[in-house]
Every structure is written in structure tokens, then in C-alpha cells.
Amino acid sequence: MSDEGGFDPRYSPEFQRGYEPGSRGRTDEVPKSHSPSRVAPMPVAPVPDRVVHPADEPDQLDSVSAIDAGDAEGVPDGGSLAEPRPWRNPYLVSLAVIGPAMTIAGVTLFRWAVTQMYSGQISGGTSTTEEARADWIWVQVAWGIAPLLCIAGVLTVIGVVFFLATRWTPGSRTTVNANGELDA
């Protein structure tokens, strides 16, 4: 692809190795019609005026979730059903259970370690030196893990509350009339 001068004819010679600015002979040999090819941009598909999400269509929701989602809040003015409650998410429910459990386990573990440490049960009694060393190790492990469990549990509970607070929307007040039907 290079000619006798070492220049590539596809590119302008002033940008190639060996070009001397005073020589004009090489610039005339490059054809003017030869320009770097451009890639045409991809065509853009037209955007619809209104984007419809599958969850917005009431016929695509099953009847159980439609009843659960709309029973307390009612149906909004737009005619679509309200979002499902966040407590239907099994991961959120498990986090709501695990958070307090970790906090309680951390406090209980810390209290056990303090009791073992200051009551003299490890150093005194009928335990041998090897048993006392093993007991000290478990007390130190519990002493180190308990605060981490407490912090992780509290942060999990705060995260669940924060998630619920971001998903909360005020619903319309509903009352039950004499026939047992909901009034908006």
C-alpha cells in the first residue's frame, strides 16, 4: 500500500513518517477525491408518543394482585391499579426478619462474653489449661463478632425502613359503608 516514497496514498503525506515540509511534490500526487471514508450513522427508530409499560395494563395483572394492590388504596384517577405493596417482596420480608434477629443475637452474644469474662468461669473451676484456652478463644471471638452483628442488624433495619419510606405513597381515605363496600 505504499509507493516508492514510503508514503501511504490513502493518507495525507504531512502526517506520515519521512515527510519534509519543504517538498511539495508528494502532496500533489495524493488524489483529492480520496478522503477518509465516513460511517453513516445508524437510523433511529421513531419514538412512540406514549410509552406503555406492561405493569400499567390492568388486563396483564392477575386478579389476586389486582385485588391486593387496589383494596386499600382504591383505583387512581388514571384507571390503572396501584403498585403492589412492598411487603409482597420475599427478600424485603426476609431482611425485615434478619435485621432484628442479628441485633438480638449480637446483644446476646456480647452479654454472654461479658458474663464469661468477668464472672471467673473461665479461669477458675475444674477446667484444665487447654479447656481454659479454648474458652478464652471463644470469648474473644464472641467479643469481636457481637458488635459487628449489632451494627449489621441495625443497618439492615434502617435500610428496610428507608426502602419502605421511599416506596410509600399516601393513599386516599376509604371508609366502609353500611353494605360493607368501600367508599372513597
pLDDT on residue 103: 97
Instruction: Give the mean pLDDT of 19-36.
Output: 59
160 or 44, greater pLDDT? 160
What is the per-residue pLDDT across 175-184, written as a single tens digit (0 to 9) for each?
A: 667 776 766 5
Cα–Cα distance between 174 and 3 in angstroms, integer? 86
Cα–Cα distance between 148 and 114 in angstroms, integer? 16
What is the per-residue pLDDT across 85-117, written as a single tens digit (0 to 9) for each?
A: 777 889 999 999 999 999 999 999 999 999 888
* pLDDT at residue 65 is higher than 60: no
**In terms of DSSP bridges, do strands 182-183 and 175-176 run parallel, antiparallel, or are they unpaired?**
antiparallel
Cα–Cα distance between 146 and 99 in angstroms, integer? 14
173 or 78, greater pLDDT? 173
* pLDDT at residue 121 is higher than 90: no
pTM reported for the whole predicted model: 0.47
pLDDT on residue 70: 47
pLDDT on residue 93: 93
